[in-house]
Amino acid sequence: MHDSHIHLTMEPPYSNLDELITRFKDMGGKYILSQSTDLVDYKENINIRKKYSDTVQLALGLHPTVFQEITVDRGDIKNIFEKSKKYISEFENIFRKNRKDIKAIGETGLDYYHFNLDNTIGEDIKEQLKQVQRLSFEKHLELAREFCLPLSIHARDVIDGTECVEDILNIIVKSGKGCIKGSFHSYTGNLESLKYILDLGFYIGFNAIITYKSGENVRDILRNVPVERILLETDGPFLPPQSIRKDKSIKEKYAQPSSVKEILEVMAKIKDIDINKLEDITDSNYTTLFGV
């Protein structure tokens, strides 16, 4: 088994790494790809990769929502471009200095969902945030091309929206120059866009949403993705499996690497395939994409 998308530097996983990684390995887990999101957590991620080098790989990137966090959320709406461009430049310097520790680029992408939750943000500010997210994503693609690394892509739109995924696909086609590979993590978009994603050669990461009663749309996506393009992920500590959500005896409800076991079990039923065969195929998908 593998977990292709998790945030090991976040709490509560970070304080329990020895226990969580041992549990994952004891149940047959092989690979964990820990995702960075900003200019703070990369140091901890590098240390984790070195300590658990037999299991953990590192993805380094900037989450698209970070630009709202460092500007608008701090009351600075006048310097969105200036601060964001500086942040992207600092990221590139950090990336190049730590290239030898990096297996993938992520978490990166676009997110048009979060700033639309805040009615106090004007349309002009939203457009600026979209533009800096696109600049950041283009820089990640540039690095992916230069170093031949796969991407872990975040694509979250407003409910029933398509602009975010369409922008991502357009940027990949324009800037990727036909040689970009990677995974769309936790994809929840429509089936039409899914077809384009698969046609471009990307994989799709599935997490515990497929175990939720409300996750029928993602289960439908799973039915439409060939097993040769499926990856397991938890997005921990977010999205704990349904068994954890409904267990009243568990006080801290969060996803951890071993949560992929329940995801795999549900996935095997949906795809109507032997669980051991599915595990072998998805693990092979992981090693093919991330070069382990």
Report the pLDDT value the prediction gives residue 119, as an integer from 0 to 100.
80
- pLDDT at residue 21 above 80? yes
- For 59, the domain range is 2-290
Could you read off the pLDDT of 68-90 as tens digits, one per residue?
999 999 989 899 999 999 999 99
Beta bridge partners of 35: 59
Report the pLDDT value the prediction gives residue 251, as an integer from 0 to 100.
85
- pLDDT at residue 236 above 90? yes
Q: Which has more confidence, 103 or 121?
A: 103
Average pLDDT (2-28) is 97
Average pLDDT (242-247) is 94
How far is CA 229 from its chain centroid? 15
Average pLDDT (178-191) is 93
What is the domain count for the chain? 1
Mean pLDDT of the chain: 95
pTM reported for the whole predicted model: 0.96
Reported confidence tier of residue 8, pLDDT bands at 50, 70, 90: very high
Report the pLDDT value the prediction gives residue 116, as an integer from 0 to 100.
81
Domain with 255 in it: what CATH number? Answer: 3.20.20.140
pLDDT cut 90: percent of the chain above it: 90
- pLDDT at residue 231 above 90? yes
How far is CA 30 from its chain centroid? 18
Q: Which has more confidence, 179 or 273?
A: 273
Which of 35-49, 110-124, 151-165, 208-222 comes out lowest in average pLDDT?
A: 110-124
Could you tell me what percentage of the chain is helix, strand and coil, using 3-state DSSP and rounding each to the nearest 5? 55, 15, 35
Alpha helical stretches, state H, the chain: 17-26, 42-51, 66-70, 80-97, 123-147, 163-175, 191-199, 216-223, 242-245, 260-271, 275-290
Angstrom distance (rounded) from CA 266 to CA 209: 10
Report the pLDDT value the prediction gives residue 178, as an integer from 0 to 100.
67
Structure tokens belonging to residue 58: 């590192």
Reported confidence tier of residue 159, pLDDT bands at 50, 70, 90: confident
